[in-house]
Amino acid sequence: MEDPRPFLGSNANTRVTRTIALSLPIITRLYSALHRISIGDRFDPQLDSEGYYDSDDDPPAADYGGYSKPFLVLDVIWNLAFVLVSVFVLLITFREKPSTPLRVWIFGYALQCLLHVGFVYLECLRRHQSRFSVGLDGFPLTETRSSIAKRLESMNTVISSIWWVFGFYWIVLGGQALLQDSPRLYWLAVVFLAFDVFFMVFCIVMACVVFFALFCCFPVLATIAYAMRIAEGASEHDIRTLPKFKYRWANSLRTPGNSRMQEPVELTMESGGSDSTPELPLHSEDSECCICLHQYVDGAELCALPCRHHFHVGCISKWLRINATCPLCKFNILRGDNLV
């Protein structure tokens, strides 16, 4: 089933395109395609009309950004300026005889700008009807008309891209002869093509900047901010107060390579560390320091955190001086809470 949503209202990329590229015929289509791939649909006016969004809240800010009055006025003025300049130059150059059909290309370029103004007007009218005239017998744009407008916009996209290539080809083909025979038509076409190239480069650069910021800078900054939030090193006093243990084999005949021994292994408190001797049972698969990834050997000095995770004393001391959290569960020994 075909998507009944209108050609402009269904994609936030069109609004961003109008804002950034100011609706140059070839540039808006290129940027629109790139933005559709990277962003996609973020607001559906059809869902809005059905009450999907909260009626007390405004639609997403991204939807209003391209349709705010200043941008709409600037968009319309920009395109109408191209139309008026084209008509003026075509009238005053009526006697010029260009060697290539440059006059036809300028007329087509102006027609595309004029069509875009019409599409914007139809979209604004449709939005006004759906927002203020729901349920009234007025002149609302139906879904069928919106679908037709969407198809016309797609056709205009393809034609604009091809038309730009034709203009560039005719300018190159005419060369110096075209400049001498029809200088005003020549320079007008060059200006239009130059604007398109400039905004094309601008859009590509902005896309690269956004891509770099999102996928390179933002993760690094987020990591740094996270590290600054949790990287509160423990003091020497805090580290010394942690319980220390001596690792002993429960069975003196057991060797580290004997995987058949499954009985628990006990940790005994270091002499002088406390009056009591707490026992922490460890299975054979749990007798490894996750910091240095080495198995505990008989007589190794271990340290247990309040979360009951244990490590080599040297390993966990170096770790806690930099970061006062457990390497496994992120338990903070200073605040006594888990970060994850």
Whether the Cβ atoms of residue 331 and residue 337 lie closer than 8 Å to each other: yes
Give the sign of the dihedral formed by CA 237, CA 238, CA 241, CA 243.
negative
CATH code of 250's domain: 3.30.40
Residues 25 and 119 in one domain: yes
Residues 99 and 77 in one domain: yes
Residues 160 and 76 in one domain: yes
Q: Could you report the per-residue pLDDT of 178-234, keeping only the tens digit for each?
A: 888 888 888 988 898 888 888 889 889 998 988 888 888 877 877 777 666 655 678
Q: Could you report the per-residue pLDDT of 108-150, keeping only the tens digit for each?
A: 888 988 888 888 787 777 777 665 554 444 444 455 666 777 7
Q: Mean per-residue pLDDT for 71-75? A: 79
Whether the Cβ atoms of residue 251 and residue 262 lie closer than 8 Å to each other: no
**Final residue of a domain: which of 229, 252, 284?**
229
Higher model confidence: residue 33 or residue 177? 177
Residue 247: the pLDDT is: 79
Token pair in block for residue 151: 């198809």
Domain that holds residue 241: 236-322
**Final residue of a domain: which of 229, 262, 280?**
229
Closest to 166 (Cα-Cα) out of 80, 240, 249, 108: 108
Residues 135 and 28 in one domain: yes
Closest to 103 (Cα-Cα) out of 113, 116, 114, 92: 92
Residues 150 and 263 in one domain: no
Whether the Cβ atoms of residue 14 and residue 32 lie closer than 8 Å to each other: yes
Look at residue 181 and tell me if it is in a domain. yes
**Any alpha helices (H) in the chain, and if so which ranges?**
12-21, 25-38, 45-49, 61-65, 69-92, 102-132, 143-181, 183-212, 218-230, 236-240, 313-322
Residues 45 and 96 in one domain: yes
Residues 194 and 273 in one domain: no
Look at residue 5 and tell me if it is in a domain. no
Look at residue 120 and tell me if it is in a domain. yes
Look at residue 335 and tell me if it is in a domain. no
Residues 253 and 162 in one domain: no
**Final residue of a domain: which of 229, 251, 282?**
229
Look at residue 48 and tell me if it is in a domain. yes
Q: In sequence order, what DSSP letters do the residues of 14-56 get, joined into one string?
A: HHHHHHHHTT-HHHHHHHHHHHHHHT-----HHHHHTT-S-TT
Look at residue 339 and tell me if it is in a domain. no
Residues 243 and 210 in one domain: no
Strands 301-304 and 310-312: antiparallel
Look at residue 31 and tell me if it is in a domain. yes
Look at residue 329 and tell me if it is in a domain. no
Residues 32 and 51 in one domain: yes
How many structural domains compose the chain? Answer: 2
What is the amino acid identity at position 185?
Answer: L
Residues 68 and 182 in one domain: yes
311 strand-pairing partners: 303
Residues 225 and 261 in one domain: no
